[in-house]
Structures are given as C-alpha cells and as structure tokens.
Amino acid sequence: MNNAKIKELITSTKYKSSRWNYLFRVNNKNYIYNTLSCGFGELDDKALVLLTKIMQSESYTPSEKDVSLLTQLIQGSIVVPEKTDEINMLKFLSYKRRFSDSYKIISLTIVPTLDCNFRCSYCFQNHQQTTDSDYMSEEIQQAIIHYTDLRAKNESKRISVCWYGGEPLLASDIIERLTKRFLKIAKKYDIPYDASMVTNGYLLDEKRIEMLKKWKINDLQITIDGPREIHDRRRFLVSGKPTYDTIIQNICSITKEKEFPNVTLRVNVDVTNEHYIDDLIDDLDRNHLMDKLGVYLAPVTSTTKSCGDISKILFSSKEMIEKDIRFVKTLIDKDLVVTMHYPKMSVTQCMAVCPESDLIGPDGKLWPCWDVIGRNEESTGNIKTGHVYGDTYFKWCLWDPFQDEECLDCKVLPICMGGCPARRVPLNQEYFTAVFQKKCSRWRWGMEEYLKLIIELYQKKMSKAKTDEKK
C-alpha cells in the first residue's frame, strides 16, 4: 500500500484510545505503555496533545496533519479504530494460540524422578522413603518415545524438553537414555531439539557439566535462597549437610566453560530471608557471577499439605512487586547487570491450559501443571494410554479468564491472562493457603513503578553511550 492510500485509510477512520494504556510522567516527560502491544514509548508534546484529544473523544476523526503521529500510536495499539472490540480481539488471539494445532511444537516437561537429595524446609513435594518406583521405568520411557515419535511424524516443528523433579540429576541415566532417543527422532524428522533443566545444582560436577552439553541443555535453573548461612538453613541435604558452597562452586565451573547454558538463579523469598538478598548479590558479585547469570526473585508459596502452615511468612503478589522493584534498584545502585522481566503479552497463560504441552511424571501420569504433581486427583491421564477427556482435563484446558468480570476490567489482562490457573481452577481438593488464593499477578499492583525502572535504565544506558562516544 502506498503512502497516499495509507493516509486516505487513516483519515477516513475514527479512533479511540486503547483500554490497555498506562500513561504517566517521569521528570517532566510523558511515557506510554500498552499491555497488548507491549510497546513502550516517550511521547513528545505533539503526540501527547493528539493522544489527549483522542482520549477525550470517544470517536476521533483525524486530519491529514495527524497521520504521521497517529501511525505510530496505531502501531503501538495505543490508539485503535473506533469499532475495535479489544476484549474480543484478545480473546481471539488467546483461543487461537491455545487451541490451534498449527504450532506443532512438542513441549514436554519430564519428571524422571520425584526423588530428591535435598529436604528444603518449604518443599511442596512429600518425600518419604525412596523406592525404585520413584524413578521412571523403561516401559514409561518407551511410551514417551513412542508418543514423541508419533507427534514428530505429524509435521512437528520442534521438540522441547524440560527436565524437572524431584532432582532430575539423580536420574542422569534416564535423561541420558531419553535424550539419545529424542535426538534420533529429531534427526529422523529433521527438526530441532532443545532442552532445559530445573535443578538444585548440587550434583553439577564436572562430569555432569560435560553431560549437559550432550543433553543439549540450553537453560538451567538453579535455586539459591540467600547467602550461605541463610541458604543452608533452608536448602540442605537429606543428611542435613549444607549445600551453598558446592552449588556456587558448580555454577562457577559451568560459567567457566566456553559455551555454557543460560543459567538462571531463582531466589525464593519470604519474610524470613528477604533482608539477606543484598548479601547474596554481594557474594555472587565476589564470585564474578553477576554478569553471567540471570537472577530473579520468586515467592515461596504454599501449595500442598506438606508445605505445612507457612502462610504467615509468605508474600502476597502486591508485596512481591515491591520486593522486585527494590531488588532491581539494588542492582542499579551497585552498578551490576540487571535482568528484568519485561511485561509482555501472554495469550496462553501457561502449559496448564495449553493442550499441546505435556507434563509426565515418573510413573507415566500426566499432569496439567507443575504445582499439582503428585496429586492423583488432578492427574489427567497416563502417557501409555493418553489423556482421559473428563472433568479434570477439561476444567484445566478450558479454563477461561474471559468469564471473569474483574479480569475484563483490568488493564493487565493481556499480560496476566487471569493469573496462575492453579490458583483459579477449582481443585478437586483444596490446598492453597490464603495468601496465594489471591488471583492477581504482581503487574496489577506495580506496573508504573516497574516501568519507571526501565526508563531509569534506559537513561543510564544512553548516558553511558554518550560518555563512551566522547572517549
């Protein structure tokens, strides 16, 4: 379409402002962020005047001189044609992504064992005496391979596996065998294979670091709960022995490798360890790790009876965004690399409501969500026989935030999509404690403050670029 036609099209349409805009001022400058497009921009005076006019009018007819600015506002979904039904547009995108089989990605979370070498004070998995049946049998492994082969044959575009546990590295032999078979399938159908792993990091010695390469692990997530004395009080071995020094040493070894996977440190926080996070950051920095890792805070949550009554020490989502902001500010103050999650549209929420993703337990049971592993009443089937298309399966995969009036009125809906399904879907037995029953995500409570941090980082980056240029 040529420029004249675009101009004609724009000026012949009436516009309104999007329901999903955040407009705010920082240091006498105006900024706009839209939760659907996730565009984030600085508005100059002209753009602000035009946007204000559109906001004041439910149906704005643009003139020719508006076209250039209006094009940018339209591109960011900050302004939309008057007749646009934004809720239904989002609904359409969500349903299309969730239920279309055109994406053809085989996304598997595999739990080769629920056994764990740790006994974390807040763990949701109920560890008792370990037996052989806690490890995935050859029969289940074969069933997974058969299932993957069938799906790969059907024009799949990628195989993506996440190893989860228990502690998956306790089942290295199973991971080794399954990876070899996955790679064969990937080669047979000429599709890429990638993998990630959630591990406590304790067993990542040099031998296993070499194995990570063979297993094509691109992403590793390791949990550290604070500096040594705090972490060791919370995350210890079955024997009660400490784990911090070994984990840090292992992470240092991984990052010394020429090509190491992306390593993310998850720092679980609650009332009892939040004041020690700065000490952890200092320690990671002393070990020259801060520029090699992504570090982020995650709330400890109570998900099962085995969590015990820990609700008094948990943070709500509103409190968590405050912790996040403070955490990022600390990194900025210390002039360290900052890893931030940019608030981005999520049309699928997560695998729990996405029929094409599978979570397979060591006994072959299929689960909709990581949070309900081990709860037999929430299992949706078995890898050997497939899903049982009954109430449990459908209550997860058909759960719909568009049925919730409060969500429809909320500006962060395109990003949070109704929140964690595990906190929304009615469970067959109720476990969650009061704090995390609350459905809303952190974004609802601290979006503007968070976006202001991005501006601060942007300005810092620009200022540094100017200084470097002068040099």
Partner 1 sequence: MKWLIIPSLFLGSLTGYYSNKHKEKPYDIVGEICAGADGFNGHCTWYTCFSGYTCGGGGVEFKCLRFGGNVIDP
Interacting positions 152-191 with partner 1 (CB under 8 A): 158, 160, 162, 164
Q: Tell me whether residue 108 or residue 140 sits nearer to partner 1 (CB atom).
A: 108
DSSP-derived secondary structure for 404-417: -HHHHT-TTHHHHT
What residues numbered 319-378 form the site for partner 1, per CB under 8 A? 320, 324, 336-357, 369-371
Residue 94's Cβ-count burial label (10 Å; 0-12, 13-18, 19+) is buried
Conformation bin of residue 347: beta by default, left when phi > 0, alpha when psi is -120 to 50: alpha
Q: In angstroms, what is the minimal distance from the CB of 399 to partner 1?
A: 12
Give the helix/strand (H/E) hosting 265. Answer: strand 262-269
Dihedral sign, CA of 17, 22, 26, 31? negative
CA angle 296, 301, 305 (to 5 degrees): 150
Query: Pairing mode, if any, of strands 29-34 and 293-299?
Result: unpaired
Minimum distance from residue 132 beta carbon to partner 1 (Å): 26
**Omega prior to 166 cis, within 30 of 0:** yes
Instruction: Give residues 376-415 in contact with partner 1 (rule: CB under 8 A).
Output: 415
Q: Tell me which H or E stretch contains 386.
A: strand 386-387
Q: Of 17, 18, 21, 109, which one interacts with partner 1 (CB under 8 A)?
A: 109
CB of 136 to partner 1, least distance (A): 19
Q: Which is nearer to partner 1, 31 or 236 (CB)?
A: 31
Closest to partner 1 by CB, 34 or 392: 34
Residue closer to partner 1 (CB basis): 47 or 171: 47
Query: For tokens 């790790």, what's the residue?
Result: 289
Tell me which of 98, 151, 216, 234 binds partner 1, using CB under 8 A: 98
**Of the candidates 95, 389, 394, 458, which one interacts with partner 1 according to CB under 8 A?**
458
Residues 6+ apart with CB under 8 A from 359: 108, 109, 111, 164, 351, 366, 367, 368, 369, 370, 373
Smallest distance, Å, CB 258 to partner 1?
Answer: 14
Q: Cβ of 132: how many Cβ atoms within 10 Å?
A: 7
Q: Is 42 in the site for partner 1 (CB under 8 A)?
A: yes
Cβ proximity of 14 and 59 under 8 Å:
yes
Closest distance to partner 1 from the beta carbon of 353 (Å): 7
The residue range among 9-17, 42-50, 207-215, 382-390 that interacts with partner 1, by the rule CB under 8 A, is 42-50
Binding marks (x or -) toward partner 1, 293..322, rule CB under 8 A? -xxx-xx-x-x-------------x--x--
Q: Please, what is the minimum distance in Å from the beta carbon of residue 341 to partner 1?
A: 4
Stretch that binds partner 1, among 12-20, 169-177, 378-386, 419-427 (CB under 8 A): 419-427
